[in-house]
Structure 1
Amino acid sequence: MSSDKKRHSEFNIRVYGLVINENNEILLTDEYRLGAYMTKFPGGGLEKGEGTIDCLHREFWEETHQKIINISHYYTTDFYQKGWFYENMQLISIYYKAQLKNPEALKTSNKKFDFNKTDDNPQSFRWISIKNIEQADMTFPIDKVVIAMLQKELVSQS
């Protein structure tokens, strides 16, 4: 195998929205995908030919049937993370702060995994206080880093 082939790897690029309300609560999604329960931020995979902001708009529309506004870059993975479901891929996650255009129209729950597992791509949404969320509440390693960043930011604003 040539050294050029060794240097090339496949990437899985994910784009997520950090929606924070006036009570310093963040919007989480609880999902059942690929045979696993997961808690994460709303968003998903970048498709070929798509920009990251376009991906964020598409993912929010698909998941929440909401338009998002006031989008600003927050964080891009700055360390190596092996893919969660696709181990031969390097995962790169891009996070944007955003607002829902019509937040009162989004159905949310106070209960984790408040859906019927037999539904097609079951998913539910809930708000949780940034101050009270535990890193362990999040399924994916990069999301845990983002939670720590948001909590540190919240403390420094106090």
Structure 2
Amino acid sequence: MNSKVFNVRVYGLLINDNNEVLISDEQEYGFRFTKFPGGGLEYGEGLIEGLKREYMEECNTEVEIISHFYTTDFFVKSAFNDSQIISIYYLVKAVSDLRFATKTVVFDFEGEGDVLQSFRWVKLSDLTVDAFTFPTDQYVADLLIKSI
């Protein structure tokens, strides 16, 4: 029997008072990519719980979910393994002070290591699909652009 694996991911679209959305530049094992903050659901946790955990881990910021924004409705194969990606995106708002540094330059990492991350605010009016690496983030960016 051929067993296929699903990889469930959850992301938060955090938009500030200046109409800017938070995006994440990352490097893992030599591969650089830009995406929305969030990541993989852990076994045993729900979507909301997973998204709140991801924001605490990545941004050291507590978020509250405002509303569902998008769930993957087309096939996406992982860039890292043979799993099928299912991504759920929520609009979120910060309920604690923002406790992370932001940059203005793409891939402006501090420190060394196999896993690096930095954040940038991008004006919704300046957002482009091409800014994102993965197809689902590109699709969501397009939806965001069309919604403004």
Asked whether the two chains share a fold, i.e. TM above 0.5, the reply is: yes
Q: Give the distance between the partners of 2:117 and 2:66, measured in 1 at CA.
A: 23
* Structure 1: tracts of 5 or more residues without a match: none
- Residue 153 (1) aligns with residue 147 (2): yes
Between the two proteins, the alignment pairs up a number of residues equal to 148
Q: Which residue of 2 aligns with 1:124?
A: 118
Match of 2:129 among 135, 138, 148: 135
Shift of 1:72: 1.7
Q: TM-score, normalised by structure 2?
A: 0.92
**Matches for 1:51-130 after TM superposition, within 5 Å:** 51-86=46-81, 88-116=82-110, 118-119=112-113, 121-130=115-124
Q: TM-score, normalised by structure 1?
A: 0.86
Match of 2:32 among 33, 37, 45: 37
Cα pair distance change 1:135/1:44, threshold 3 Å: same
Query: Do 2:78 and 2:84's aligned partners in 1 also have CA atoms closer than 8 Å?
Result: yes
Match of 1:10 among 2, 5, 17: 5
Which structure shows the bigger proportion of residues in helix conformation?
A: 1
Cα pair distance change 1:59/1:34, threshold 3 Å: same
Cα pair distance change 1:45/1:70, threshold 3 Å: closer
Deviations 1:9-53 (A, max 9, x none): 211111100001122210001111132111111100011111111
Cα pair distance change 1:101/1:119, threshold 3 Å: farther
Q: Give the distance between the partners of 2:129 and 2:105, measured in 1 at CA.
A: 18
* Structure 2: tracts of 5 or more residues without a match: none
Query: Do 2:28 and 2:114's aligned partners in 1 also have CA atoms closer than 8 Å?
Result: no
Match of 2:22 among 27, 45, 49: 27
The Cα RMSD (Å) is 1.6
Query: Do 1:14 and 1:92's aligned partners in 2 also have CA atoms closer than 8 Å?
Result: yes
Q: What percentage of aligned pairs have identical amino acids?
A: 45
